[in-house]
Structure formats: structure tokens, C-alpha cells
């Protein structure tokens, strides 16, 4: 008959093996210590972009770590790469817009949890979104609309913020007012049209002949009527 001591030793052995397996699985499932990123070490043209391995950024208590699925590319990114702000600390990862999934949350985060699909606007003076992971402040991120793909969502943050700042926070646009939006088929312009319409304003927009058809779906989704002389 097996003694109680042998049974206890066997049970202890099993518990040690279980803890070892769980620890190994946890380590294997954890985010890798390194990631791929597109960075610049000096200002310049496209040749300044370098694809390399860098440490995954560490989120602070008021930040979220996002596993990037899509990153937006804006003209301002090219400006930064060419030296628009030479105070940028180099090397640095560019990219202001991302869409992805929350990988980790800081201790003060209340709006998001791991696994949430989000899109976010990043601080250009810090590490950006041309990477597998990116850091965002909680109030600079929002739940990704279910109707948008990650690729579509990643095109919104900078352009939408620019349009909102101009129309709402600066111009105080409201119902009954009329606004003229040049470049209505562009990223900022197309979002500005929708923001202005949502606030009850009459919108007149311009666009080159080749891009006029891009504006028609925006008008069809509103009560306003699109006239040829308004495009």
C-alpha cells in the first residue's frame, strides 16, 4: 500500500509541474520584448526610413498599449521626416494615426480593457504608430466604430481632429450658418463636410473635376442637396 508520505510527495511534484507549465505558457503568450518599427535616425527623404527591431514601448498609468493593426499615413508625417520640427528626439518612430487592439492598460485607465478595438491620435513628439505596438493617452483614443475596418479607422484621427478644431473649437460653427470648404474631397475636407452638416450648417464645398464623384455619397447620406455649382 502506498504510504501517505509518498502520495504527498507525488501531489507536490504534480503541483510544481503544473506551475512550471502555466508559467511557460504565460511567457509564451506575453507580448514580445521587441517589435518591428519604421524609424528615422536623421531627417531626409524616403531613404531616411529604416525598418528595424526596437523595444516595445512601456505604457504609463494613464496610457494604453495598442497592438497596431493599421497605421495612417499623412502629409505631416513626410514633413516631420524632412525636418519640420528639428527638435524631435532622434531616432524616432513616425505615425500619428493608429487602429488596433488594446494590449495593456495603465492603472488609471477606466474606459478601455485588454482586447478592445480602438483608434487613436498619437503625439508626434513621442514614438509613433509605424510599429507593431504604440502608446496612446486614454483621452486621445476612442472605441473603433464597428462599421469601419481598422484600415478605414486609421485614416480618421488626425484629419478629423483638424476639421473639428477648425469648425467647432475655433469657428464655433452652428445651425443656420453657412460654411465654404475648399478641397472637400480630401481627408480633412470630407470629414469637415460631415461635421458641418451634423451641426446643422449649410455646406458649400469645392473639389477638382476628377474628385467630384467622391463627394456625392456624403451628400446622399444627409438631408442637403448637392448642386453641381457647389462642387
Q: Please give the chain's pLDDT, 231 residues, in tens.
A: 444 454 343 333 334 333 333 333 334 455 559 999 999 999 999 999 999 999 999 999 999 999 999 999 999 999 999 999 999 999 999 999 999 999 999 999 999 999 999 999 999 999 999 999 999 999 999 999 999 999 999 999 999 999 999 999 999 999 999 999 999 888 999 999 999 999 999 998 888 888 888 887 776 665 454 444 444
What does DSSP assign to residue 3? -
Q: Are residues 146 and 40 in the same domain?
A: yes
Cα gap 66→47, rounded to integer Å? 27
Interval 51-101: pLDDT, tens? 999 999 999 999 999 999 999 999 999 999 999 999 999 999 999 999 999
Q: Are residues 81 and 177 in the same domain?
A: no
Indicate the residue among 140, 155, 170 that finishes a domain.
155
Q: How many CB atoms lie within 10 A of CB 113?
A: 10
Is 213 part of any domain? yes
Q: Are residues 101 and 151 in the same domain?
A: yes
Across 43-80, b (16+ Cβ under 10 Å) vs e yields eeeeebeeeeebebbebeeebbbbbbbbbbebeebeeb
Q: Are residues 90 and 144 in the same domain?
A: yes
- Closest CA relative to residue 42, chosen from 92, 5, 84, 8: 92
Q: Are residues 60 and 78 in the same domain?
A: yes
- Closest CA relative to residue 40, chosen from 101, 106, 86: 86
Q: Are residues 148 and 165 in the same domain?
A: no
Q: Are residues 45 and 88 in the same domain?
A: yes
C-alpha radius of gyration, the chain, whole number: 25
Is 28 part of any domain? no
Structural domain range at position 69: 34-155
pLDDT given for residue 117 in this prediction = 98
Number of domains in the chain: 2
pTM above 0.85, yes or no: no
Q: Are residues 150 and 68 in the same domain?
A: yes
Is 97 part of any domain? yes
pLDDT given for residue 2 in this prediction = 43
Is 9 part of any domain? no
Cα gap 117→215, rounded to integer Å? 28
Amino acid at each position: 500500500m502506498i504510504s501517505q508520505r509518498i502520495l504527498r510527495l507525488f501531489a507536490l511534484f504534480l503541483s510544481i509541474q503544473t506551475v512550471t507549465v502555466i508559467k511557460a505558457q504565460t511567457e509564451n503568450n506575453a507580448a514580445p520584448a521587441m517589435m518591428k518599427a519604421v524609424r528615422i535616425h536623421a531627417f531626409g527623404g524616403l531613404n531616411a526610413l529604416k525598418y528595424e527591431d526596437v523595444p516595445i514601448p512601456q505604457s504609463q498609468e494613464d496610457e494604453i498599449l495598442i497592438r497596431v493593426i493599421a497605421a495612417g499615413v499623412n502629409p505631416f508625417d513626410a514633413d516631420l521626416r524632412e525636418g519640420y520640427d528639428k527638435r524631435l528626439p532622434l531616432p524616432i518612430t513616425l505615425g500619428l494615426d493608429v487602429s488596433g487592439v488594446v494590449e495593456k492598460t495603465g492603472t488609471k485607465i477606466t474606459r478601455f480593457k485588454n482586447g478592445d478595438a480602438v483608434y487613436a491620435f498619437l503625439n508626434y513628439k513621442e514614438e509613433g504608430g509605424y510599429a507593431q505596438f504604440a502608446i496612446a493617452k486614454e483621452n486621445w483614443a476612442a472605441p473603433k466604430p464597428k462599421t469601419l475596418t481598422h484600415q478605414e479607422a486609421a485614416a480618421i484621427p488626425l484629419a478629423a481632429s483638424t476639421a473639428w478644431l477648425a469648425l467647432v473649437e475655433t469657428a464655433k460653427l452652428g445651425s443656420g450658418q453657412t460654411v465654404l470648404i475648399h478641397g472637400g474631397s480630401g481627408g480633412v475636407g470630407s470629414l469637415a463636410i460631415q461635421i458641418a452638416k451634423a451641426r446643422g450648417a449649410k455646406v458649400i464645398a469645392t473639389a477638382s473635376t476628377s474628385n467630384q464623384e467622391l463627394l456625392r455619397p456624403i451628400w446622399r447620406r444627409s438631408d442637403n442637396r448637392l448642386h453641381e455649382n457647389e462642387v
